[in-house]
Structure 1
Amino acid sequence: MILLLHYSFYRLNLISVSLPNLRKIHLTIYTILFMCFLQSINAQNQKLTNLENEPTQYYKNNTISVDILSSIGYQYWVQGNYKEALRYLLISKKKHKKNNNYKGVASTTLHIGLIYADLKEYNEALREYNKAIHLFTDLKLTNDVATTFTKIATILIEQNKHIEALEYLNNALEIHTKSNFTYGIAEIHNRLTLLHLNKNNLDKASYHIHESIRLSKEIGDTYGLTSSMILLGKTLRLKGNLKEAEHNLKMGLQSSKENNLKKQELASYQELKKLKTIMNQPEQALLFYNNYVKLKDTLFNYKKSKEIAFLEFKNKLEQTNTKISILEQEHGKKKIINYTLFTSILLISISAYIILSVYRKRSEKEIEFAIKEQDILKSQNSLAQKFIQNEKLKQKELEEQLEFKNKQLTSYTFNFQQKNEIINKIQNIVKHLDQVSSLEEKKLIQELKKLAEENLSIDKNWENFRNYFEEAKIGFHAKLKLKHENLKANDLKICSLIRLNLNIKETASILGISPGSLKTARYRLRKKLELNPKQEIIDYLISLEKEMIPDDKLYK
């Protein structure tokens, strides 16, 4: 329907743009539709109001105040007429809500809970009590909160939930004591007596019941005083004070009859029957028992009729609430339709502007984001270029260091070779001079021999050579020792010189041996390296150098 109306307005707009004379028709149709919807909504509201007022249609005087309605409901509860009590309290609660009188709503909620508690509908009663506590708490009515705590504790005592009940009663007593609310304190002592009697704690029960009686007398609370006198009689009976128990129970019975308190009268008969049985007075015990049974039957029938009436009323109330709920839903839908009708034109008018604005802002943000992203990419690219340049410089520096080490090794090898050649020449000269017979020449010859032999010792020079070689060929010796544990120091020297690609003559000269001795040493080295006849030593050493071996195995 809304789409149809939108389409109608759209067509009328086209006509009004093309034909200015028809604008009055457009306005007239809009006004007619508006009035139709208002009339429909008013009719719906009137139907809902009539249904809500259904429970109060028998009241002729419309000026009855809400407080009087609440009082009437409370009095019906005191009389035990739960059906009428609940009817009046529900009406009162609804009117309190309408008048935004939240204190009245809380009080009627509490009284509704009392009705449910009397009918043993404990779950419903606790639900109403908790609602009342929330309302009283929001209004900061602490005494009313404490009173509700006492009502909850009463239910918990009947359910034998003594720990929870005691916690509620202690909290209520603390609140009432601070505000000096005597009625509430007296009621709490009465409930504490019940709790301690259930727990067979007679001393505490005796203390609390005397406090309840004292406070009830101070404020003139007949109902509370009668109930407390009966509880005192029960306490005294359990403690063995039978005479005092009988006196208090008879006073409680008399007060119950005078004030038409049937529940207290029934409790009096029951306690007096138990007392007379203990006192070995069977005739009086039987008399009280007969009175108890007679009154109980009367109350039982009356209670059953009240429960049946209450259930009938509850079912009717649920049906009424269901109807109200359905109408409220329909009423809500009408409101939504009405609101949609009046806001749709405005929304359509501004939607294009909003969409364009959002699109423009989004485009600006996307452009701004793209620019930022481009700057970030440029920055990342610049950093990557710098990183690549740094890596190239590092690689070049390492290559230069390696080249320098190789040059040092080559230079050292060449010097090593030259040194040994010079020493060999000196040694040859010394051999010729050794043929001279002069004593001094012989002495000189001996010194030259000694000098030649000392300089020919190449252990230290070999150590320096080994260090240079290891810097150029990292891990070479360690790999050889790991693969071939039987290699000796001289074998490692030969392998190093072969790896430098020196020929037999150059290698023999450096080692200070003849080429033939070197060939023999190379042959023995091939066996130790376990090479086949076609495999060259230098090829094997190069392949071994390229092998990747973990450091923990290489230098263990």
Structure 2
Amino acid sequence: MPNNIKKTKTLFIVLIFTFFSKSYSQTLSIPVHDSYRSIEEIVLQEIDFQNDSIRLKKFLAPLQQSSSKKYNILYYALLANGYSSYFDKINSKSDKYFLLSIQKAKDINDIPLVVWTEMNYSKYLYHYRNMDKLIPTLLKTIENAENIKPEKMILPGETFKIFGWIMTTIDDNDLSLKFLKKSLEYSKTNTPEYASILNAIGTHYLKTDKLSTAMHYFNKTIAVSLQIGDNIRYAKALGDKALIYEKRGDYKTALQLLEKDIDYSKKYKDEKNNMYALILMAKILLKNQDTSKATIFLQKAEKIALSKSYYNNSLKDIIELKLDILNGSYPEKELLLRRELKRIDDSLLKTDGENALRKANWFVQKTKYENELKEAQKQNRQEIKTKNIYAIIVILAVLLSVSILIIFKKRLKNSSLEYDKKITRYKIEKISFENKLKAANQDLDSNIEFLHNKNIQISKLKLELEQIKKSPSYYLEEEKGKLQELLDSHLMTDENWNNFKREFKKEYGPFYETLMTDYPELKDSNLKIIILQKLRFSNSEIASLLGITTDAVKKSKQRLKKKLGEKQHQLFEIIDMP
């Protein structure tokens, strides 16, 4: 018996020694020449050591010890990535080494390396949703990337993919598709990278309600994923297909796909995708009035969401769904949930803290100025005791007050002039678009272009209104209301609609006749949404043109489907037909 114990101990020690020997034997292969393709070769060797920073530094040591400045830069960039994995959040060490890698790339004026280091930093900021730092960094990176040919970039496929992902997140759909398609062009087929880009393009079309095109890309993603054995990407594509079926009202198929998604995500330990699938499953179950099952899935999702601070967006979705389930039946529980929701909302606002930072900076400068003024007054009181000096101080104070008043009035005047200039500029743009429409004989294409231009103007005006609300010049809009008046003037009028409908009937006569003949129950408000959808306007674009919310457009469609019953499928089939 003692011999058996001794043998077991010996075997255990040998196994431990073997494990650590293999673990620490991992080395980074360094090419002799530091060309951009050699840099790619190094980057592709990157390993996630998670919470083992010693192995990380040992692995990257050849880069630090190299005489190549480019390889030294890679050392800091990959070390920053390692610390990101180690802390699994925004952290000072990662920030330090990301910024150091960027600065050193700038010091040697290597633009491709600058683009890659900035992209690497952007990916980190995007992962942890630090949008305040991300957007200015990303815009600088895109600007630098546009100054070099893609062939000279380091990993152009991944770089364009990151650009596309972020633009999709912030709803810049045109730029997201542009970058994702460029990414596809510079990525090898039948690779995990290629599958992820296909999936991202599908997500783009899903967000813009082009469901058939989205389905095409998700199916291509699944085909590539199965071919190369990328089970995680396969699971994600199944979940994305479920979103399409959910939009189409086929909840049964959506739930079946999500069950597979969850099984694969659990099996291959992708907690983030598992969480998303669980939340979506709960949403669909709630639509089916199955609150008990929905509650179970939400509990599972919540367990994952609470594990990471950067899952707060998902945690917010979970709490809102829980409130939908309670629906006023348990006031005490709802109160606790609403408090938690408020806390999460506050924490999410901190990631977009541009205004907060400006306010803090202004407060620091103001306090500094006040302290300096107090110190000067103290010294003056000690040194100057005569009435004449006090009189001079009073005079200076008066002059200062007058100067401040003059400056303040000048600023008010400048603000008013700037406000009026903006209004004039937008009015000129509006007149220009209207004149172009008249000059183009008001055919359907020119009407569509006109509506797209209106959407652009509406978006600009909404942004102006939001910005002016946060500025000291908001009183101008409250007094004059010219921005809101101009925004309202861009909404589709009866005259615009009649002209547009006339040209539409010329181009889509049979479709319009079918609507009038087969669907007499359609109101004019329904026709507006149907015709705009037929012309591939998104829900948000339709909402802007009609002066309603996106939710109102969606609810209008839902009410129409309910009203039409079985006829809804025929209607939406002919709408989706080219």
Q: Structure 1-normalised TM-score?
A: 0.40
Bigger helix share:
1
Q: Structure 2-normalised TM-score?
A: 0.39
Greater relative contact order structure (CA < 8 Å, 6+ sep): 1
Higher-Rg member (1/2): 1
